[in-house]
Structure 1
Amino acid sequence: MSLRTFKTVIANLIGGFLIAGIYISVLVVQRQGALQQISVYNPAWEAGQAASEFIRLEHRLAEFGMPGSHIDKDEVELRFDILLGRARMLNEGSFQDLLQRNPEHHATLREFQETLAAAQPLIAEIDRNPEAARKALELLRPLEGRLAQLASVAHNHGAALVQKDQQELIRLHWAFSGIAASLILVGVVLIFLLDKHNRLLGRAHEELHVLAHQDALTGLPNRVVLRNELEHALTRLKPNGRTVSVSYLDLDHFKDVNDSFGHETGDELLKAVADRLRACIPASEGQVRNLISRFGGDEFAILQTGIRRPQESAALASRIVESLRAPFSVNGQELFIGTSIGIALAQRNMTPSQILKHADMALYHAKADGRGTFRFFESDMDEQLQARRVLEVDLRKAMTNGEFELFYQPQINIEKNEIGGFEALLRWHHPERGLVPPAEFIPVIEDTGLISPLGDWIIEQACKEAATWPRDVHVAVNLSPIQFRNRGLVQSVSRALAASGLAPNRLELEITESVLLQDNEMTVSTLHQLRRLGVRVAMDDFGTGYSSLSYLRSFPFDKIKIDQSFVREMSQRADCLAIVQSIANLGASLGMPTVAEGIETEDQLRQIQAAGCTDAQGYYFGRPKPARELVHTLAALKHKVRVA
């Protein structure tokens, strides 16, 4: 039972107690009223007394004037006055209920009063008129039987009312007893619920204690436990003795899994990662103690105590990297992630916050070095981190201030010996540093999430500028994996085409294999939606992923771009040349043009041409230029290159 439900139950019970208490008070009042009714109700007594007084008056009248009688006028008048009083009482109060029930009784009482009124003058002169007593007696005698009958009816009526009131008292008694028993039962239930609630509170307290020290998803100790253990370990450090290290782990490409397969699959993957960490990290290795902790999200941390050399932490980090590099099977999907690790060693008088901050800095540099590796903290990393933060601030200002510009590099159709199109490349004109190398700021844009709004601008600007070129020249735009996951990508492309008037088949979107690494329905659906717009789709950096051939089977690309790493080493490595030839033959068999990137020499051009590539791109044909400096014929381009 939840706390909210329990409070509702308690409130209802208290409300029930209040209502029952009020009702019992009403019953008590009713019971007292019934008792009072019984005690004060006397219609039978009134009728009986009236009949008795009537008979006494008759006796007094009969004896009045008889020889030896001691009855005098005063005695007769007293009895008459008493009878008059009884007659008045019969016309008042509760006796009226009986009269209303039977008109005959009402007539008897009316006649009784009229007879008394007629007899009253006779009673007044009874001492002066010897016949007055006899006449009064003759007036009264006919009513004797009827008054006795009225008294009998009143007695029966009173008995019925008493029985009815007794039954009502019995009903009130049982109602009172039932409510009292119910209250007792409710009290017992309330006591039971309170006891149960106390037990639940105790259990919840235990669970909260566990949750406060354990990650709910993976079952690993949480940040609080690691920090407490780290603090104790730092207080126990001795000069020139064993030391402490903290390793920060951040899963590579975990966000791709969450975005592609949903958080449920992401949670299952985190559990699998935790299990694999437990398997490859022993709790102790000699005098070294290891504590695995989950910090939240896709971040984990390892505390090592009792180490003598940094190599011990490096060996553990290397083992973790290799373990997490292997594919994971989650919900029927084969997932590849990997991890980056930052390691910080404790120094003298170091606080837990400082060593955790150092590990975080080292992790950042491990990710910047290409992920899937580990780095130790170095003193100059703090300066680099500050420089990174300054760069992030400058990039946000650059978007507002319009400091970005698109440069274009030509793509040459080898067979036709002409410029087939240009690839749009982002450049940043920093107000103080000048032209910033793309390799320096592009990763930061992707990490900070600026790539989504900036990517929309790139597509719009490229379409706008390409609309002024010759109609047989296309423009190629790279899409980052983060940009491709944006659900508004198709709408952004559609708006850019509509605003610029560029023919859809002149826009070519290049995606890398990392976009397709987490292959799912949403990815393929987005590709088909772009295709329905009339846009061409090219696979960039082909050959560097895990399963390029399966990608070509799942979606019919319009072009294949061979990664420049193969082109640059064709002269030195026969396997690179063989790979280029294989990709060119594959493209020809599938009817897809193949573009060789990174052409810098005439020898490389001849080699890729002999290999069967249909297009080429590289510094050999010219460096990227802004739109205002572009030429659109190969002859003009060669002339410009020679002049330069």
Structure 2
Amino acid sequence: MSLSTFKAVIAIIIGGFLVSGIYISVLVVKRQGALQQIAAYNPSWEASQAASEFIRFEHRLSEFERPSSGVDKDEVALRYDILVGRLKMLNEGDFHALLWRHPEHQLTLRQLDQALVTVEPLIDGLDSSGTVQKVLDILRPFEGSLSQIASAVLNYGSEVVQKDQQELIRLHWAFSGIAAILILIGLALIGLLDRHNRLLGRAHQELHVLAHQDALTGLPNRVVLRNELGQALARIKPQGRTVAVSYLDLDHFKDVNDSFGHETGDDLLKAVADRLKACIPVHGEGHAKNLIARFGGDEFAILQTGIRKPEECAVLASRIVDALREPFSVNGQEIFIGTSIGIALAQGGVTPSQILKHADMALYYAKADGRGTFRFFEPDMDAQLQSRRALEVNLRKAITNGEFELFYQPQINLKDNEIGGFEALLRWHHPERGLVPPSEFIPVVEDTGLIIPLGDWIIEQACKEAAGWPRNINVAVNLSPVQFRNRSLVQSVSRALALSGLAPNRLELEITESVLLQDTDATVSTLHQLRRLGVRIAMDDFGTGYSSLSYLRSFPFDKLKIDQSFVREMSQRADCLAIVQSVANLGASLGMPTVAEGVETEEQLLQIQAAGCTDAQGYYFGRPKPAQDMVHTLAALRHTTKVA
């Protein structure tokens, strides 16, 4: 029974008690009133007294005619007045109400009253001959009438008393029944209260478990770890063993949820918890104790006590990283994830909140190092993190304030010896720092999700500016993996083309292999939707991934861009030259142009031409420039480069 239902039952029972009590009180008051009415006014006695007074009045009249009787006129007048008073009582209030069922008796009383009014003036003349007889003749029709009325009233009173007795008997049984019902309800209420108390006790136990245990994995939760951490820190002695907290964050867990669903994701978390238990002994050496907790989502934490040196934490972290790198079999699916770990040691009277914050900072840097690794907290991390947060704030302001601008770097068609297009590159004009290097702010933009609105602006701006170029020159825009997770990417590209009027085949979207690593089916579907818009798709940094060739089978790209790391070292390393030649030959066999990035010298240009590359891009031809400083022919480009 829920608490609201229980409250409703209690309210109904209390209401029943109140209604029953009020009902019984009303009945008792009503019956007492009826009995009091009979006792207080005694109508039958009044009626009999009126009949007796009528007889006495007639008797005194009769005795008045006998001189020896001793009855004088005053006594007769007194008896008249008493009779009139009795009749007046019979014609008033409660007695009159008792005779409502006998209209004939009411008529008799009215006639008798009129007769007495007629008799009144005759009383003073009783000495006259025949007056007494006249009065007796007027009263004779009413002889016995008052006795009949008294008898009727007596019968009515008996009926009322009998009825009240029956009503009191009924009230007695009703009261007894209600009392019995109330007793039963009280017993039921006691039973309900007892059951409710037991349920509350059980709920309290369950809430205690829920408050201290993760419902999904059964591991202790954040509350338990924090309490244990506080106690462990309080036990630390100077120059003694210390305490460490490790934060774990699963790598690519969101991709699991997106690809296989949250149910599979939950089962994976349970499997991770089981694997962590297998990796971490509950008790270490001596009084050392380890505690595994789940903080929520894909975040776990480990508390280690009795730590003598940091290497012990490093050994455990390394073991966990290796264990979680192994594949998981969940719901018939083989799933690969990993973990990043941040470790913080208790040093210098640190509080529980501080050590947890330090572990979180170290985790952030572990993920920034490429994931699948661990990092210890270092004091300068806090300053670096504060700097990053300030950078995030400035980036959000930069979008609003219009501090971003697109620069363009030319791509040279080596066959035609002309500019075939420009690659759009994002630049940030900070109001105080000037131009901020893209390598500093692009990762932050992607991590914070700002790349979504900023990426939409880049596509719209590039299409708008390219619409004013010669029609034989295209524009290339890089797409972030984060943008591909946004379902509105296709709509954003379509809107940018429509607003700018740029021909779709003049827009080239560049993606890296990391985009295809996310969700092959969904990503390939998005690429096909973009292709149906008429835009061209290029694979950027080709050759740096481990499965580049397999991606060429899943989607027919329009262009391959060879990563600059191979071009830069062609003269020193034969393997780099061989890779460039292989990619160029592969592109030629598939009918795809190949762009060599990072060409900075004439020697590199000659080498990529000999290797078979169709296009080139790099500082040799020109550095990125804003739209207003661009030229659209190679001759003009060479002239401006020489002048510069």
Shared topology, TM-score over 0.5? yes
Q: Is 1:511–1:539's contact at 8 Å kept on the other side of the alignment? A: yes
Give the CA RMSD over aligned residues: 4.3
> For residues 266 and 633 of structure 1, what CA distance do their matches in structure 2 show?
54
Spell out the pairing of 1:89-488 with structure 2 (5 A cutoff). 89-97=89-97, 99-126=99-126, 128-129=127-128, 131-166=130-165, 168-169=167-168, 184=183, 187-238=186-237, 241-257=240-256, 267-287=266-286, 289-328=289-328, 335-347=335-347, 349-400=349-400, 402-412=402-412, 419-430=419-430, 434-488=434-488
1:363, 1:185 → 2: CA distance? Answer: 65
Q: Which amino acid aligns with 1:142?
A: P
Q: Relative to structure 1, is the Cα distance of residues 337 and 19 closer, same or farther in structure 2, using a 3 angstrom cutoff?
A: farther
User: Which residue does the alignment assign to 1:85?
Assistant: 85
Distance 1:523 1:183 in 2: 72
In the alignment, residue 106 of structure 2 is paired with which amino acid?
Answer: H
2:608 counterpart letter in structure 1? L
Instruction: Tell me if the contact between 1:27 and 1:176 (Cα under 8 Å) persists in the aligned partners.
Output: no
State how far apart, in whole Å, the 2-side matches of 1:561 and 1:30 are.
Answer: 105
On the 8 A contact 1:407/1:424 being kept in 2, the answer is yes
Contact 1:31–1:172 (8 Å) recurs in 2 = no
User: For residues 123 and 642 of structure 1, what CA distance do their matches in structure 2 show?
Assistant: 158
What TM-score, normalized by structure 1, do the two folds share?
A: 0.82
- Against the structure 1 CA distance between its residues 537 and 640, is the aligned structure 2 distance closer, same or farther, given a 3 Å change threshold? same
Question: Which segments of 5 or more consecutive residues in structure 2 lack a partner in the other structure?
Answer: none
CA distance in 2, matches of 1:515, 1:623: 27
SS of the equivalent of 2:209 reads helix
| SS of alignment partner, residue 408 of structure 2 | strand
The amino acid of 2:316's aligned partner reads L
Same amino acid, percent of matched pairs: 75
State whether residues 260 and 520 of structure 1, in contact with CA within 8 Å, keep that contact through their aligned partners in structure 2.
no
Paired amino acid for 1:482: V
Distance in 2 separating the partners of 1:584 and 1:157: 129
Instruction: Give the number of equivalent residue pairs.
Output: 639
How far residue 93 of structure 1 moved from its aligned partner, in angstroms, is 1.2
Q: Which amino acid aligns with 2:115?
A: T
Superposed CA offset, 1:327-364 (max 9, x none): 45566766544221122334454444444343333222
Cα shift at 1:466: 1.3
Residue in 2 aligned with 1:501?
Answer: 501
Partners in 2 of 1:580 and 1:138 — Cα distance?
158
Please give the secondary structure, in 1, of the residue aligned with 2:244. strand
Alignment of 1:46-65 (within 5 A): 46-62=46-62, 65=65
Quote how far apart the aligned CAs of 1:443 are. 1.1
Indicate conservation of the 8 Å contact 2:35/2:161, yes or no. Answer: no
Distance 2:548 2:3 in 1: 55
Query: Where do 1:30-41 residues align within 5 Å?
Result: 30-40=30-40
CA distance in 2, matches of 1:73, 1:549: 149
Of 605, 622, 632, the match for 2:608: 605
Shift of 1:455: 1.9
| Alignment deviations for residues 586-619 of structure 1 (CA, whole Å, 9 cap, x no partner) | 9966x7666565566347625763xxx7655555
Q: Judge conservation of contact 2:562–2:583 (CA < 8 Å) in 1.
A: no
Summarize the Cα distance change of 1:633–1:12 in structure 2 as closer, same or farther, 3 Å threshold. farther
Q: Does 1:510 align with 2:513?
A: no
Q: How many angstroms apart in 2 are the aligned matches of 1:525 and 1:152? A: 110
Find the aligned partners of 2:152 and 2:140 in 1 and give their Cα distance: 20
Q: Is the 8 A contact 1:462 1:477 kept in 2?
A: yes
TM-superposed deviation, 1:631: 4.1
SS of match in other structure, 2:289: strand
The C-alpha deviation readout for 1:544-592, integer Å capped at 9, x for no partner, is: 6687788777766555556666777889586996798589759966x76
Change (3 A) 1:95 1:472: same
Identify which range, 556-565 or 354-363, moves more after superposition: 556-565
Asked if the contact 2:587/2:593 (under 8 Å) is kept, the reply is no
CA contact (8 A) 1:259 1:485 kept: no
Instruction: Give, in whole Å, the separation in 1 of the partners of 2:360 and 2:13.
Output: 55
> Secondary structure at 2:143's aligned position in 1?
helix
In 2 relative to 1, CA 263–149 (structure 1 residues): closer, same or farther, beyond 3 Å?
same
Amino acid of the residue matched to residue 300 of structure 1?
F
Q: CA deviation at 1:475?
A: 1.7
Q: Which amino acid aligns with 1:276?
A: R
Q: Is the 8 A contact 1:261 1:520 kept in 2?
A: no
For residues 139-192 of structure 1, what are the alpha-carbon distances to aligned partners after superposition, in whole Å with 9 as ceiling and x for unaligned?
323323444433333334344444454555556556655655555555555544
1-side partners of 2:187 and 2:588: how far apart? 83
Shift of 1:269: 4.3
> Which secondary structure does the structure 2 equivalent of 1:294 belong to?
strand
Residue 565 to residue 157, structure 1, CA distance change in 2 (3 Å):
farther
Corresponding letter in the other structure for 1:83: L
Which amino acid is the alignment partner of residue 153 of structure 1?
A
- Matched residues in 1 for 2:528 and 2:182: separation? 71
**Structure 2 residue matching 1:94: 3-state secondary structure:** helix
More moved, 231-240 vs 473-482: 231-240
Superposed, 1:500-539 pairs within 5 Å as 500-519=500-519, 527=527, 530-531=530-531, 533-539=533-539
SS in 2 for 1:284: coil
CA contact (8 A) 2:509 2:538 kept: yes
Q: Say if 1:416 and 1:158 are closer, same or farther in 2 by CA, change over 3 A.
A: farther
CA distance 1:363–1:167, change in 2 (3 Å): same
Range with greater deviation from structure 2 (185-194 or 423-432)? 185-194
Change (3 A) 1:268 1:401: same
Distance 1:545 1:277, change over 3 A: farther
Using structure 2 for the length normalisation, give the TM-score: 0.82
Report the secondary structure of 2:220's partner residue.
Answer: coil
Rounded Cα–Cα distance in structure 2 between residues aligned with 1:250 and 1:476: 36
Residue identity matched to 1:356: L
- CA distance in 2: counterparts of 1:427 and 1:633, whole angstroms: 24
Distance 1:231 1:119, change over 3 A: closer
Counterparts in 2 of 1:179 and 1:438: CA distance versus 1, 3 Å? same
SS at match of 2:93: coil
Helix, strand or coil at the partner of 1:470: coil
* Contact in 2 for aligned 1:125/1:132 (Cα 8 Å): yes
Per the alignment, do residues 446 and 169 of structure 1 end up closer, same or farther by CA in structure 2, a change over 3 Å counting?
A: same
Show structure 1 runs of 5+ residues with no match: none
Alpha-carbon offset, residue 206 of structure 1: 3.6
